[in-house]
Structure formats: structure tokens, C-alpha cells
């Protein structure tokens, strides 16, 4: 359809929609059945068989498959079949977990999908973008991603960046009044807004003409949103570790094979020993466990209102040592309440909290009638008309659609018995100059039917508004704005700001008709000053504790706000975010500071006030150059660059624009600072848990290598067969490793300094721990094996069963010690990780099955054990646990010594 060639009336008629009412529910259902959901289908997912093949393509698994095939040719058919079967089962389990991870990510994607403001049944509501159908009437404004192809019906200085569609980075100006009579290129269609393009300025309204694959972006199948699936540096490091282990393993196998053959042992026998060593050296379950733990961590964060859009963020979170946070809505409740008004030399207070419209205007204890006060009524009228927010009510409470600050103004007018709909009808808006962060003002033009004139209302930052006024409305008339009055109002503004109030000033101008040039330079000067309104956004109750947690964790919280310095300092002091009022820097001061000097200054600053998005970028760059890992919050379209520049970009899920959400690594569904801290804690726990099961799995693998190698060195029969080692690695160890992946974290995890990004996962502490554990495992298993050989006169089946049982029990018991690198198992609580308890029980039951059920005895070459065997095994399997606990005790003693 060539919608750009049709008038607004023709399109409304063709799509059967009332421009003032929108669609009703019945028509909505009919159209959804006809057109489907407004979404672009993604590429088909891999088939099940392809997913299994991808699982089996791992370098370590290929070595095992190759070894099992050679075993089959050598006549060891049962061993080869079982090894292949276990490898395939491991692959299938990997596929199952991969599917679960995909579903979890799809759920996260659903939660962070864009929304739209849509007119239905005459009411402006918020709906998911995918719910839109042709004929819907939607509103768009700066920061939105256009949710469908729309024919514009109203535009107010609307500019849209269409780079995702046309490649043109300069925003296109839009004009709803234009109707074309010939074909024009997509990039020149001023009356159309296209799906997935970005509103950079102004606002508009339009009719949805096409959805989903029928849109221009849908036709070229370009989806600009989605959760990245790239591997994180941690996963790459572990893949690299796996490859090196594989290479070292092959070299050791070749050396052992050569030594054995040189000593005169049989080639087939030595080959099977080499296979045993290969199986022992390879941590087969490691890649799957890492992926599962990361996916579970993302799901857990989502449950705590932090949607992680990139796996990389999970890993980086544990390294964050600076959080740059917006004030409004993140550190505060984002439920602005107008509490102070100054007009006509009088200071008024307003009672009531939040968006509840019950309240009164007072001077001292006297209740004031706004209807009898010209100055107060004009001030509130300007706040009501120069406003895009709407107060709504559901069964439980009142809420605001739009900006919270504008919402506070609407609520204040309701307290004065002023009805928004009546004022909008009486003084209809005919044009506007939208707010932007550079001007810090907004102006709207209205018809004044009573006097047949046009009036413009301007609201904005007091220091800017006051300096642009030459007159003042006072005592019911317009007077000259004297320098004395100017100073008084500046002082009142300062007093309000020191009380942590967000202050807006209001002014107006009258015209005989709408000016031809609607430009800020011409309109927003020589205005008539009306008054100021002070609003407060109370600090969130939980933030103070979160800031304290940050400081204990070695994380510096920083407030970055567009508010005044006095307001920012008042909130920061209240939250204990800063200790000295000197720890503040303003945007003007940043402008006068070079990048090199700013790099030095940022180390001593806790609050940045009156800053622009460009300042945010400079602050982030300075912090990063100093080696800090920085999390930066943002909600506006102009914050996108700062979010990209930071190590962790955090967008607001409630107030954030679609552009900010699309750029961020994490989206906060509750816009709460405490949620950032909670996410950092979860990130630390996830990384810590990955270290725990890497430590657990690798110490077992190294122990297995030592057991096999030393038995060959001392010319003993190999204690553990390849199939037994594979069972140990893929089955016995995997369940406890997964359980370690959901460990709650050490009690003091948020009292430790952030992790250094350059620190390898196998640091000195872990290498020492792995060495001690592997030696302890080797000692316990070889002692049990040698004891059995002597007691049972060299009977290999029972001796190997004793060795097999000893190493499995040692693994299951020491898994509980692996829950922390520093705290003892008693300190953590033996039953505090029930998942690990059940994993241990399951693995033990599987061990009993392998030992006592005849069919498995044949496959795994085991036999039943006597009570005496169990007594010896239980005694020896405690050695690794004791060694691990002693090592942790030494670490704690050294740590205390260093602190002293």
C-alpha cells in the first residue's frame, strides 16, 4: 500500500478507525486474527540432530570418540560402546540444557520487548508493541523506537533517525500534513514513520498501517533487537584451557604408551592404558556446566528485576568497582510530589504524598482556595497545560503515564480542583517547542478563547527561565521584573534546592496569533515570570543500605544528575553517598576541565550535578582510563553513548527509552539502585561458583592422571579402567558440579574487593588448592587400591572396585568442602545447599547400582564390596576433605595476618 500518497482522512476511512477513539476490543481481536502479531520472525533454530552434532564437535569429546573407535577395532567392544553411549548421553543432556537456556533467554527477551502508547476506546494506554494491529492510533516521542510502520497524523518538531532502514545517520524531519502525488524514496517520505527507527526529537501521533513482516524493515528481514549469543571471555578461556589439556593429555598418553612398549608391555594393553589417561585428563562435563550456570544466573537475576541482555555482563559484573547512577527514579522513588509553590511573594505548601490527588494548599496552617488566587491559578494552569503527563486510576491506586515530574504538576492541579480534560478543551494546544536537555525548557502554545489570543507557557530550569524574563505577573497584573525580585526568586530557588526539591520555574507570553517562526531563540525570551514549584522525589528506603553494601564491597557509588548542585548534595548526604560537600562537580566545571585534569579529579568526586549526556561520556572515559570497571545507568536516547562506553550499561526498564534499553547490557525492571547492587552480588556469586566447580573438576582430573601415571611408574596394574573414569567424569562429578553452580555464595562475598579483570581463573590460590586436592585424592585411592591388592591376592576386579568406590566417595564428600575457597564446611552449614545434598545422594545411588546390579557389574567390571571394604574406603575417602579444610584454614590465618 502506498500510504504516503493518501490523506489522513482517506487512511482513517480505509482502516475504519476513529482518530479520537482508536480501536475497541472487539475490533482489535478481529484484526489480530487477520494480521497476526506485530513481530518479525527470526531465523529457524537448529534441528535437534544438528544441536547434538554441535555438542559432539568439542575438541575433548572428539579425542574420546576417536579413542573409543580404536578400542572397538582392538576388540574391546563393550568398553567402546559404553564410552560412545555415555558421550552421546552427555551430548543429549547438553542439548536439553541448551534448549532450557534458549527458553530462558526468550523469556528475558519477552520481558525487555518494546512497548507503545496506543489509543483504544478513547483512552491512551501502554501496550506491548507486538500487540499492535493496522488501524491502531499510537503516540511517539523522543527516545522511542517506532513500533510499526505508521502514517503520521500529527507532528510537533518530529525528527526520526532512519539509519537502520536507509543508512542515513542524519535524522529525517517529519511532517504529517504532507501528501505525495508520486513515488518518493523511503528516506524522503516525511509523512511516514518506519518500524525500528528511532525518534530523536519532538513528538507525534500516527495510524499503524503495516505490522510485522509487512513493514519496510520486515521486508528486508532486519531485526535490530535480540540477546547476543557470543561467548564470554571466561568461556573462551575455558575452551582454551580444554584444548591445552587435550594437547598435554595426548603428549602424556604418547609418552606413557612409548615407555610401556619400551618396557616390553603389550601394545593393546598400553593403548588401553593411554586411553585411560586420556579419559582421566579431560574434564568432559566442564563446558556444559559453565553454560548451564551462566544461564541459571541470568534467570535468577531476571527474577530479581535485572534482565541481562548479554552473557558477557554476567562475567563483568563481579569486577565492577564504580557505579555511576542517575538520581531520579534509581536512587529515589520516582514518584515526584509537588510540596512547595512560590508566587506573588508568597510561599505555599502542598499536602499529600505521591500520585494520590488528595491534598491542600496552605500558607502556614491556613488552607488556601486556588480559585480565589489569580497568581496561583495561573501558575498551576501553566503547569497543567505545558504538560504531556496523564493521571490515571485503576482499582488500587493512581498512576502517571508520562514523565514523573510532569505527573507531580498534574497531581498538584487536581488538589486545586482543576480538571485536566476541561483545561485542554478550553485552551487547546496548537503548537509546541519540546523539551530537550540542552535548552532545559519546554514551551506549548494554546488558543485562549476568552480573549481570542494565543498564549505560550514555558517551564524549565529556574536559573534559565528567570534570566529570560523581563516582566512578572504580580498582584493580578504584569509588572517590570526588577533586579531585587530577580534576586529574591533566585534565593527562594536555592532554599528549595537545599531542601532536596526539584524546582521548575514557569513563564508565559501572549500573542495576537500563532507566531510564524516557532523557534526557541524568538519565543523563549522577554517572558512574563509567574512563579516556581518545588517537588521532592524521596530517596528509596532500601538504597541507603545498598550504598553501605557497595562501600563494604570496595565499590564506589557515584550520583550523576541533571538536578541542581544543592539538590544533589542534599540527597547524597541523606543517603550517606558522600561524606564531604566538596565531593561534587557541576557540568559547567566539567566543561572547563581538560580530559587529563578530569582523569585526576574523578577519583575524589561522588556527585555530579547539572550534567548533560555528553558529560556522562567524559566521566566514564576518565574513570575507565584510571582502570576502573564502571557500571553506568541511563534512560534517555542521549544516554546511549555513555551506556556503550561503560563496561556495564544499565538501562531503566520503567522510564528508559527503547534506545537506552537496546544499547544496555542490563535492564532494570524496577529502576532501582539496590537492584544494581543485587545484580553485582549475583555476578560475583556466579563467577565464584564457576571457580568452585572448575576447582572441583580439575583437581579430580589431575588426581586421576596422577593415579594412572604413578601406577604405571611403579609397574602396578592400572587402578581405574577407561569406562570407570568416564563414568566418574561425566556422571558422578557432573551432579555435584552443577550443585556447586547454584551455591548461595560466601557470607562475606560483598565484603571483598572487586575481582581484577586480568586475574586468570586458575590463579595461584586455585593452583595450590588443586595440587593439594589431587595429591590427597591420589594418596587415598592408591592406598585403598594397594590394600585391596594385598588382601585379595591381586584380584583386579575387586581391587579396582575398591579404588573406583574410594575415588567416587572422595569426590562426593569433598564436593561439600569445595563450596567455599575460604570458609569451612561447618561455617557454611552442612545442609545449607540442599541441591548439593540431593546431588550427592543421587550420585551415591548410581554408584551402588554400578557395584551391586549384575548387568552393570559386567559393563563396568565391578563386584560387590564387603563391610570391611566399606570401612577402609570410608576412612581413606576422608583424606581429600581433611586436606582441603586444612588448606582453607591456612588461607584464613594468612589473610588475617595480612590484614594486621
- 633 by Cβ neighbours in 10 Å (0-12 / 13-18 / 19+) ranks as buried
Question: pLDDT value at position 172?
Answer: 84
With the C-alpha atoms ordered 31, 209, 214, 169, is the resulting torsion angle positive or negative? negative
Question: pLDDT value at position 227?
Answer: 38
- 452 by Cβ neighbours in 10 Å (0-12 / 13-18 / 19+) ranks as exposed
**Residue 731 has what DSSP assignment?**
I
Q: 679: Cβ–Cβ under 8 A, 6 or more apart, which residues?
A: 301, 304, 306, 308, 317, 666
Which residues are bridge partners to 443 per DSSP? 433, 458
What count of other Cβ atoms lies within 10 Å of the Cβ of residue 265? Answer: 15
Quickly list DSSP for 195-221. Answer: TT-EEEEEEEEEEEEE-GGGSHHHHTT
User: Which CA distances in Å does 720 have to 549, 782, 875?
Assistant: 49, 10, 20
Ramachandran region, residue 703 (left: φ > 0; alpha: ψ -120 to 50; beta: rest)? alpha
Is 70 exceeded by the pLDDT of residue 592? yes
Least confident of 305-314, 445-454, 667-676: 305-314
Is 70 exceeded by the pLDDT of residue 395? no
Give per-residue pLDDT as tens, 230-240: 455 666 676 67
Least confident of 283-292, 492-501, 621-630, 849-858: 283-292
Which residues are bridge partners to 457 per DSSP? 444, 508
* 3-state secondary structure (DSSP) of residue 199: strand
Grid cell in block for residue 592: 572547563
CB 642 within 8 A of CB 620: yes
Element (H, E) at 92: helix 77-111
Look at the block and give the residue holding cell 529457524: 44
Mean pLDDT of 605-626: 90
Of 58, 144, 149, 326, which is the active-site residue?
A: 326
Give per-residue pLDDT as tens, 15-32: 999 998 999 989 999 999
Count of alpha carbons within 13 angstroms of residue 733, beta-carbon side: 32
Residue 639 bears catalytic tag: no
Percent of the chain scoring above 70 in pLDDT? 86
Count of alpha carbons within 13 angstroms of residue 773, beta-carbon side: 30
Please give the mean pLDDT across all residues of the chain: 84
Look at the block and give the residue holding cell 488500587: 396
CB 885 within 8 A of CB 824: yes
CA-based nearest residue to 723, from 789, 801, 783, 784: 801
Mean pLDDT of 697-716: 85
Is 80 exceeded by the pLDDT of residue 847? yes
Give helix 834-852 / helix 796-817 axis angle, nearest 10°. 180
Question: pLDDT value at position 603?
Answer: 94
Instruction: Between 382 and 438, name the one with better pLDDT.
Output: 382
CB 473 within 8 A of CB 455: no
> Is residue 589 very low, low, confident or very high in pLDDT (cuts 50, 70, 90)?
very high
Q: 239: Cβ–Cβ under 8 A, 6 or more apart, which residues?
A: 231, 287
Is 70 exceeded by the pLDDT of residue 474? yes
- 895 by Cβ neighbours in 10 Å (0-12 / 13-18 / 19+) ranks as exposed
Give helix 483-498 / helix 565-574 axis angle, nearest 10°. 20
**Residue 145 has what DSSP assignment?**
B
CB 47 within 8 A of CB 94: no
User: Which CA distances in Å does 512 have to 291, 445, 691, 743, 893?
Assistant: 68, 12, 74, 72, 84
CB 434 within 8 A of CB 157: yes
Is 80 exceeded by the pLDDT of residue 146? yes
- How many whole angstroms from its chain centre is CA 502? 29
Is 50 exceeded by the pLDDT of residue 900? no
Mean pLDDT of 252-276: 75
Instruction: Between 685 and 157, name the one with better pLDDT.
Output: 685
Q: Which residue blocks in 263-327 are alpha helix, DSSP H?
A: 267-281, 286-303, 311-317
Is 70 exceeded by the pLDDT of residue 104? no
User: Which CA distances in Å does 830 have to 690, 747, 827, 839?
Assistant: 20, 14, 8, 14
- How many whole angstroms from its chain centre is CA 374? 49
Question: pLDDT value at position 235?
Answer: 62
Count of alpha carbons within 13 angstroms of residue 67, beta-carbon side: 30
CA distance 646 to 649: 6
Which residues are bridge partners to 162 per DSSP? none
Q: 597: Cβ–Cβ under 8 A, 6 or more apart, which residues?
A: none
Mean pLDDT of 195-213: 86
3-state DSSP helix/strand/coil % of the chain, to nearest 5: 50, 20, 30
CA distance 867 to 199: 76
For 210, list phi and psi in degrees, rounded to 5: -140, 145
CA distance 459 to 387: 9
CA-based nearest residue to 676, from 278, 137, 313: 313
- 441 by Cβ neighbours in 10 Å (0-12 / 13-18 / 19+) ranks as buried
CB 587 within 8 A of CB 609: yes
Grid cell in block for residue 498: 537545599
Least confident of 98-112, 240-254, 840-854, 881-895: 98-112
Is 50 exceeded by the pLDDT of residue 222? no
CB 155 within 8 A of CB 518: no
CB 121 within 8 A of CB 139: no
CA distance 780 to 221: 61
Question: pLDDT value at position 631?
Answer: 93
Q: 657: Cβ–Cβ under 8 A, 6 or more apart, which residues?
A: 142, 143, 144, 145, 635, 636, 637
Question: pLDDT value at position 787?
Answer: 96
Length of the chain: 900
CB 323 within 8 A of CB 550: yes
| pTM score | 0.69
- How many whole angstroms from its chain centre is CA 485? 49
Instruction: Between 120 and 636, name the one with better pLDDT.
Output: 120
CA distance 408 to 429: 20
> Is residue 223 very low, low, confident or very high in pLDDT (cuts 50, 70, 90)?
very low
Give per-residue pLDDT as tens, 755-798: 887 777 778 888 899 999 999 999 999 999 999 999 999 999 99
Is 70 exceeded by the pLDDT of residue 112? no
Q: 675: Cβ–Cβ under 8 A, 6 or more apart, which residues?
A: 304, 305, 306, 668, 669
CA-based nearest residue to 623, from 598, 660, 658: 598
Look at the block and give the residue holding cell 542524519: 170
Give per-residue pLDDT as tens, 398-454: 777 777 788 889 999 988 889 888 999 899 999 998 887 678 899 999 998 667 889
User: Which CA distances in Å does 586 have to 73, 317, 400, 763?
Assistant: 77, 28, 30, 42
What count of other Cβ atoms lies within 10 Å of the Cβ of residue 412? Answer: 27
With the C-alpha atoms ordered 425, 430, 436, 439, is the resulting torsion angle positive or negative? negative
With the C-alpha atoms ordered 572, 578, 579, 583, is the resulting torsion angle positive or negative? negative
CB 139 within 8 A of CB 148: no
Count of alpha carbons within 13 angstroms of residue 123, beta-carbon side: 11
**Residue 482 has what DSSP assignment?**
-
CA distance 74 to 62: 18
Give per-residue pLDDT as tens, 479-528: 999 999 999 999 999 888 878 788 999 999 999 889 888 888 889 999 99
Count of alpha carbons within 13 angstroms of residue 153, beta-carbon side: 21
Amino acid at each position: 500500500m502506498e500510504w504516503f500518497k493518501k490523506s489522513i482522512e482517506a487512511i482513517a476511512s480505509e482502516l475504519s478507525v476513529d482518530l479520537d477513539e482508536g480501536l475497541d476490543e472487539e475490533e482489535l481481536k478481529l484484526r489480530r486474527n487477520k494480521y497476526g502479531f506485530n513481530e518479525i520472525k527470526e531465523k529457524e533454530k537448529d534441528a535437534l540432530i544438528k544441536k547434538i552434532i554441535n555438542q559432539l564437535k568439542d575438541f575433548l569429546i572428539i579425542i574420546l570418540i576417536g579413542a573409543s573407535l580404536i578400542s572397538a577395532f582392538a576388540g574391546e567392544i563393550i568398553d567402546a560402546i559404553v564410552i560412545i553411549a555415555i558421550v552421546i548421553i552427555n551430548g543429549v543432556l547438553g542439548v536439553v540444557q541448551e534448549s532450557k537456556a534458549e527458553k530462558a533467554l526468550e523469556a528475558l527477551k519477552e520481558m525487555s520487548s518494546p512497548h507503545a502508547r496506543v489509543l483504544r476506546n478513547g483512552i491512551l494506554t501502554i501496550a506491548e508493541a507486538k500487540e499492535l494491529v493496522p488501524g491502531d492510533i499510537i503516540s511517539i516521542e523522543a527516545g522511542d523506537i517506532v513500533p510499526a510502520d505508521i502514517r503520521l497524523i500529527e507532528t510537533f518538531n518530529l525528527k526520526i533517525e532512519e539509519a537502520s532502514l536507509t543508512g542515513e545517520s542524519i535524522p529525517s524531519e517529519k511532517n504529517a500534513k504532507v501528501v505525495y502525488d508520486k513515488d518518493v524514496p523511503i528516506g524522503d517520505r516525511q509523512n511516514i514513520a518506519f518500524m525500528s527507527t528511532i525518534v530523536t526529537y519532538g513528538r507525534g501521533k500516527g495510524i499503524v498501517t503495516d505490522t510485522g513482516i509487512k513493514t519496510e524493515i520486515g521486508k528486508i528481514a532486519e531485526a535490530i533487537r535480540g540477546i547476543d549469543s557470543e561467548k564470554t571471555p571466561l568461556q573462551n578461556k575455558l575452551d582454551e584451557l580444554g584444548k591445552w589439556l587435550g594437547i598435554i593429555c595426548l603428549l602424556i598418553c604418547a609418552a606413557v604408551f612409548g615407555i610401556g612398549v619400551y618396557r616390553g608391555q603389550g601394545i593393546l594393553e598400553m593403548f588401553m592404558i593411554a586411553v585411560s589417561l586420556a579419559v582421566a585428563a579431560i574434564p568432559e562435563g566442564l563446558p556444559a556446566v559453565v553454560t548451564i550456570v551462566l544461564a541459571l544466573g541470568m534467570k535468577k537475576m531476571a527474577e530479581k528485576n535485572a534482565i541481562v541482555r548479554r552473557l558477557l555482563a554476567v562475567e563483568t559484573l563481579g569486577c565492577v568497582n564504580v557505579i555511576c547512577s542517575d538520581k531520579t527514579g534509581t536512587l529515589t522513588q520516582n514518584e515526584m510530589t509537588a510540596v512547595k509553590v512560590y508566587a506573588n511573594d508568597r510561599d505555599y505548601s502542598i499536602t499529600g504524598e505521591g500520585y494520590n490527588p488528595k491534598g491542600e494548599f496552605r500558607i502556614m496552617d491556613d488552607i488556601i482556595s486556588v480559585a480565589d488566587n489569580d497568581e496561583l491559578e495561573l501558575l498551576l494552569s501553566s503547569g497543567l497545560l505545558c504538560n504531556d503527563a496523564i493521571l490515571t486510576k485503576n482499582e488500587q491506586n493512581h498512576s502517571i503515564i508520562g514523565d514523573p515530574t510532569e505527573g507531580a504538576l498534574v497531581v498538584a492541579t487536581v488538589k486545586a480542583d482543576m480538571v485536566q480534560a476541561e483545561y485542554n478543551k478550553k485552551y487547546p494546544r496548537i503548537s509546541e517547542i519540546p523539551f530537550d536537555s540542552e535548552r532545559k525548557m519546554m514551551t506549548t502554545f494554546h488558543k485562549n478563547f476568552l480573549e481570542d489570543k494565543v498564549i505560550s507557557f514555558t517551564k524549565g530550569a529556574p536559573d534559565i527561565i528567570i534570566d529570560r524574563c523581563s516582566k512578572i505577573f504580580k498582584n493580578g497584573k504584569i509588572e517590570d521584573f526588577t533586579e531585587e525580585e530577580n534576586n529574591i526568586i533566585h534565593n527562594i530557588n536555592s532554599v528549595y534546592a537545599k531542601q532536596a526539591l526539584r524546582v521548575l520555574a514557569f513563564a508565559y507570553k501572549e500573542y495576537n496569533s500563532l507566531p510564524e517562526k516557532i523557534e526557541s531563540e524568538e519565543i523563549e525570551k522577554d517572558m512574563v515570570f509567574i512563579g516556581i514549584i518545588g517537588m521532592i522525589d524521596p530517596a528509596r528506603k532500601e538504597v541507603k543500605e545498598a550504598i553501605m553494601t557497595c562501600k563494604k564491597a570496595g565499590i564506589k557509588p557515584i550520583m550523576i544528575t541533571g538536578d541542581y548542585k544543592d539538590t544533589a548534595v542534599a540527597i547524597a548526604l541523606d543517603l550517606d553517598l558522600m561524606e564531604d560537600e566538596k565531593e561534587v562537580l557541576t557540568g559547567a566545571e566539567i566543561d572547563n576541565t581538560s580530559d587529563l585534569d578530569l582523569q585526576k579529579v574523578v577519583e575524589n568526586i561522588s556527585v555530579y550535578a547539572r550534567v548533560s549526556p555528553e558529560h556522562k561520556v567524559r566521566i566514564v572515559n576518565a574513570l575507565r582510563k584510571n582502570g576502573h570497571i564502571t557500571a553506568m545507568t541511563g534512560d534517555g536516547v542521549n544516554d546511549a553513548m555513555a551506556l556503550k562506553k561503560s563496561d556495564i550499561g544499565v538501562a531503566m526498564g520503567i522510564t528508559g527509552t527503547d534506545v537506552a534499553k537496546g544499547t544496555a547490557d542490563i535492564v532494570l525492571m524496577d529502576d532501582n539502585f539496590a537492584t544494581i547492587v543485587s545484580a553485582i552480588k549475583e555476578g560475583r556469586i556466579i563467577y565464584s561458583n564457576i571457580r568452585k566447580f572448575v576447582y572441583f573438576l580439575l583437581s579430580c582430573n589431575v588426581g586421576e592422571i596422577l593415579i594412572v601415571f604413578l601406577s604405571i611408574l611403579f609397574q602396578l596394574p592400572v587402578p581405574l579402567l577407561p569406562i570407570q573414569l568416564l563414568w566418574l567424569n561425566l556422571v558422578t562429578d557432573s551432579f555435584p558440579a552443577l550443585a556447586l553452580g547454584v551455591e548461595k555464595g560466601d557470607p562475606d562475598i560483598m565484603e571483598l574487593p572487586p575481582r581484577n579483570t586480568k586475574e586468570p581463573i586458575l590463579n595461584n590460590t586455585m593452583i595450590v588448592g588443586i595440587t593439594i586436592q589431587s595429591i590427597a585424592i591420589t594418596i587415598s585411592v592408591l592406598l585403598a587400591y594397594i590394600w585391596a591388592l594385598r588382601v585379595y591376592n591381586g584380584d583386579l576386579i575387586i581391587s579396582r572396585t575398591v579404588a573406583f568406590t574410594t575415588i567416587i566417595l572422595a569426590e562426593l564428600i569433598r564436593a561439600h568442602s569445595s563450596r567455599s575457597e575460604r570458609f569451612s564446611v561447618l561455617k557454611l552449614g552442612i545442609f545449607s545447599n540442599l541441591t548439593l545434598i540431593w546431588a550427592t545422594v543421587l550420585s551415591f545411588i548410581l554408584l551402588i547400582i554400578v557395584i551391586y546390579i549384575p548387568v552393570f557389574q559386567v559393563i563396568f567390571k565391578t563386584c560387590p564390596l564387603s563391610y570391611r571394604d566399606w570401612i577402609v574406603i570410608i576412612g581413606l575417602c576422608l583424606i581429600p576433605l581433611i586436606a582441603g579444610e586444612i588448606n582453607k584454614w591456612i588461607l584464613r590465618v594468612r589473610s588475617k595476618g595480612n590484614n594486621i
